[in-house]
Amino acid sequence: MRIAYQGEPGAFSEAAARKIDGDAQLVPCRSFEEVFDSVDAGPAGYGVVPIENSIGGSIHRNYDLLLAHELTIVGEVELPVVHHLLALPGATLEALKRVYSHPQGLAQCERFLHTLKGVEVIATYDTAGSAKMVADAGALDAGAIASARAGKVFGLVSLAASVQDFDDNITRFLVIGHKPMRSAVPDKTSIVFTLPNDPGSLFKALSVFALRGIDLTKLESRPIPGRPWEYLFYVDLGVARDEVSCARALAHLGEFAPMLKTLGTYASWKTQEGRMPDPFEVVS
């Protein structure tokens, strides 16, 4: 199995891919677009992309890419995220002038970064990629917010551990592909739809699920490109697509939603014995 992920080795997306299949051949990609393209046309059979973080919120670009590609959500992964401030051996916290990381990594460590006086905070394409930049530059006045594993991969040391704003820092990843990944029984469905700009249209749309006792675990709106002030509504439902209640709710919604698409029906992430331990939790 080949799984594409965004970032350098040591990225949190790599850890998510390892949780899917510890024996898979991993395909690092520079951008989310490249992950989707790698799965769409090869060489990867599946891809893993972050969709939301419990501190930083949604990764909006991946919502847009889900609609732009004919790929299906076939699973999800929840990954505890522990950030470290990494630097070259010999560097000190007091001497730092620059700190690099992905915008989500920076957002998740905002309170800690505010304690670093006179330090420039610079957004980059990847957390582990930031660690690589610091290592390649060889500068003792630069640091990166990334995982402990990224520090090991690129020969950096941790100047400060667990610098995220909250201990319960979790990122949810989606697994995308052309076919189901395993035989796990689906219990979650993701959809996207549009609505006419009429009074009460959103209330009417959500009521098709409420009346049937279907839990909405996520609701996200995104602008429709080229149509100002019109929106796409992305919804996660706590039920399989083929269950009678869900099928009837979607049929009802389709009666008045100009566009309705099922993005995938899959098994939700649950804590189970036997899952692979998170390699990025190891600090020593």
Is beta strand 98-101 parallel, antiparallel or unpaired with respect to 25-29?
unpaired
- Tell which residue, 258, 254, 264, 210, has the closest CA to residue 231: 258
Distance CA 3, CA 77 (A): 13
Residues carrying an active site annotation: 171, 173
